[in-house]
Amino acid sequence: MRHLLTSLGDRAGHYTFVSTISVYDPQQATDGFDESAPLLEAAYDDELAMEKYGQLKVGCELAAQELAGDRLLIVRPGFVIGPHDPTHRFTYWVERVAEGRSPMAGPDAAQPLQGVDGRDLGAFTAAQVEAGVVDTFHVTAPEPAPTFAQWLQEIATALGGPMPEVKWVGPKDSLPLTLPADYHAVMRAGLTKARNAGFTWRPIADTVRDTYDWVSKARADGNYNPRPNVGPTPEQEAELLSAG
């Protein structure tokens, strides 16, 4: 970040940095927190370590503010979901619910979860860039945040199929979008500022159906290449269910 902005100098003009909701200190976040909430301590490691993801993003934000502060737009999305997402995190749950096989392993029924359809994130960000906005925004959805149980039911309803029986096994690294209990508050971001700037989000059902249509076609065409090892295999899920 610093090398890029130093090299560009004033030639960059208006600069947009896509950060993350993970920059916030979960121990100090309160329900509906706004963009002024306390951040994690910045890290400036040369190599990416996922356990420092939020701290590294804070470091990037601070470098951007130092070098492009009077022409800087910072966007802090939650989980980015929807069609053409290569991470397989949300897509795993869409396909798993569509499969209908019971029981299925889920993390924590009460875990809040916010995620923004990539198309809504793109539309908002592009509008702010075109307007030359210099500010910081949460760009995630919905508000209030649904629970994980509500998300799974929304998926089942959108696909018009039965809701599999869920065995809640607690937060597990192998279950996509899982968060430990001490991080739940970060999934309850307030969206007032972004909404006042024109941010809107489509219904969860639309994202679900579009994601399922896309991934089904991509699989049929042999074009789906998700990030490896995201989501348990049936055998790994069986182990979670038997141990949970």
- The residues facing 77 across adjacent strands are 139
For 110, list phi and psi in degrees, rounded to 5. -90, 0
Q: How many CA atoms lie within 13 A of 145 on its CB side?
A: 26
Q: Which residues contact 102 (CB under 8 A, 6 or more apart)?
A: 164, 165
pTM: 0.94
Q: Concatenate the DSSP letters of all residues of 45-85 into one string.
A: -SS--GGGHHHHHHHHHHHHHHHHGGGEEEEEE-EEESTT-
Question: Rounded to an integer, what distance in angstroms lies between the CA atom of residue 206 and that of residue 53?
Answer: 30
Residue boundaries of the structural domains of the chain: 2-238
What fold does the segment set 2-238 form as a domain? Rossmann fold (3.40.50)
pLDDT at position 38: 98
Q: So what's the pLDDT on residue 1? A: 63
Q: So what's the pLDDT on residue 238?
A: 96
Per-residue CA distances from 48 to 18, 55, 56, 57, 202 (Å): 16, 10, 8, 10, 32
- Residue 68: what pLDDT? 87
Q: Convert the pLDDT of each residue in 41-75 to its tens digit.
A: 999 987 777 789 999 999 999 999 998 889 999 99
pLDDT of residue 48: 75
Q: What is the pLDDT of residue 69?
A: 81
Residues in the chain: 244
Can you give the pLDDT at residue 67? Answer: 86
The parts of the chain modelled with pLDDT lower than 70 are: 1-6, 8, 11, 244
